[in-house]
Amino acid sequence: MAMAYIEPAPIKDKENPLESMMSRFDAAARLLGISDEMYDILKVPARQVIVGLPVTMDNGAIKVFEGYRVIHSNILGPAKGGIRLDPAVNLDEVRALAAWMTWKCAVVDIPYGGAKGGIACNPRDMSAGEIERLIRQYTVAMLDVIGPDRDIPAPDMGTGPREMAWIVDEYSKAKGMTVNNVVTGKPLVLGGSLGRTEATGRGVTVAALSAMDKLRMNPYRATAAVQGFGNVGSFAAELLHERGVTVVAISDISGGYYNASGIDITAAVTYRNGNKGTLEGFSGAEKISNEELLSLAVDVLVPAAKEDVITDDNAASIQARMIVEGANGPTSASADEIINSKGILVVPDILANAGGVTVSYFEWVQNRIGYKWTLDRINRRADRVMKDAFDRVFETSQRYQVPLRLAAYIVAIDKVSSTYKFRGGY
């Protein structure tokens, strides 16, 4: 079952993740007219750490892995960002992802800077014991980097609650007391938060409903297609359906499933859960391809699977009235212009899928006050954060006459740069 919680991860644009993000950042910085000095302050990461991690493997041999942690900015508060285990992890990628976290936290107005970490390894080829020793080594190597008031890691590709629990344990041993708010995305019993698993899909739904409201679209008359039926996509589909939207198509790696009168999402979730996490063989719909799903004439298209699914190759065929980016980087920078020229409203990833990092922030807050909030309180507060962020970005897009994506970057850059001016420092 693909239910793992993964905190905001990549802008993975095949063209080049760093350049893709920076082109959007540059455009927003130009529109805001920030000074060259401020531009450099926002561009250059505050701290970049590379460590060598010797780990005793199960066969007794010692293997040395390379680990990274980049704090892009701590202007708004302690830095926040996941740790990924992947053979392709490198400093450049971690740097781009750390900057991207800065903008995402700023857009939803949570008091965090941006960071990211990674270890170049292939967790699929490693035993649980090897991964545990690696994570513990990484924690020790990063003792003076991470911390509840400095830099708070979270799960990302290849890590989850299990790894977060090991970090809490190793960090707590070094400090001589339990410090569970050194990371978020923990198991519930160790200070994890209720509502965190569904938080991103829920935030996507709030963003979609807010956008529908602006377009005077009645959810009860609207249709949606959701690509990806994992953590983000299935919760988004379920909640959109709950709010009256007819979800006519869903999909996963096995292909797309279409039903003009609406898919029974609860049945689809139950089917997937009993079918090794895949929709393969789901009978409540007609089989279509993922490519066909993207070009359906629906009101709302939610790409919630992976990066780079809407590119300059297929952007012209998109017929949706709006795209709400559940995934990170589903629209490549080269497709932006085509989509905009068609008048399609795009709620960008740094806004639409920020519900996850928002509830991570709530996890940290609850740990700090030593109290657990009810699910109801968490949902209400997270919905408010998402709604306010949407309104802020929408208002900015009207003021600057720019698409929501650029407006989101403007909101974020403006927030970080004006905070820096208040704090002083140059």
Extract the annotated binding site for substrate.
80, 104, 360
Part of the chain binding ligand NAD (CB under 6 A), chosen from 26-34, 214-222, 230-238, 240-248:
230-238
Asked if 64 contacts 115 with a C-beta cutoff of 8 angstroms, the reply is no
How far apart are alpha carbons 421 and 212 in whole angstroms?
36
Part of the chain binding ligand NAD (CB under 6 A), chosen from 27-35, 46-54, 315-323, 324-332:
324-332
Return the number of other C-beta atoms located less than 10 Å from residue 385's C-beta: 22
Which residues in 272-301 contact ligand NAD (CB under 6 A)?
290
The residue (of 126 and 225) whose beta carbon lies closer to ligand NAD is: 225
Q: Which of 73, 139, 328, 379 binds ligand NAD (CB under 6 A)?
A: 328
How far apart are alpha carbons 256 and 394 in whole angstroms?
31
Query: What x/- string results for residues 80 through 109 when contact with ligand NAD is judged by CB under 6 A?
Result: ------------------------------
Part of the chain binding ligand NAD (CB under 6 A), chosen from 35-43, 127-135, 169-177, 245-253:
245-253
Angle between helix 199-214 and helix 375-400 axes, rounded to 10 deg: 40
How far apart are alpha carbons 343 and 116 in whole angstroms?
34
Quick check: 5 binds ligand NAD (CB under 6 A)? yes
The residue (of 6 and 29) whose beta carbon lies closer to ligand NAD is: 6
Query: What is the torsional sign of CA 269, 271, 274, 278?
Result: negative
The residues carrying an active-site annotation are 116
Q: Which of 42, 135, 327, 406 binds ligand NAD (CB under 6 A)?
A: 327
* Sequence letter at residue 112: Y
Q: Which residues of 276-294 are buried (b: 16+ CB within 10 A; e: fewer)?
A: eebbeebeebebbebebbb
Q: Which of 9, 46, 208, 412 binds ligand NAD (CB under 6 A)?
A: 9
Quick check: 137 binds ligand NAD (CB under 6 A)? no
Quick check: 155 binds ligand NAD (CB under 6 A)? no
Quick check: 304 binds ligand NAD (CB under 6 A)? yes
Query: What x/- string results for residues 355 through 374 when contact with ligand NAD is judged by CB under 6 A?
Result: -x------------------
Q: What residue spans of 217-288 are helical by DSSP H?
A: 231-242, 265-273
The least distance separating ligand NAD from the CB of residue 82, rounded to whole angstroms, comes to 9
Q: What residue spans of 176-307 are helical by DSSP H?
A: 199-214, 231-242, 265-273, 290-294
Quick check: 306 binds ligand NAD (CB under 6 A)? yes
Part of the chain binding ligand NAD (CB under 6 A), chosen from 13-21, 67-75, 246-254, 379-387:
246-254
Tokens of residue 414, six digits? 């403006």
How far apart are alpha carbons 294 and 47 in whole angstroms?
40
How far apart are alpha carbons 73 and 75 in whole angstroms?
6
Footprint of ligand NAD on this chain (CB under 6 A)?
2, 5-9, 200, 227-233, 251-253, 290, 304-307, 326-328, 353, 356
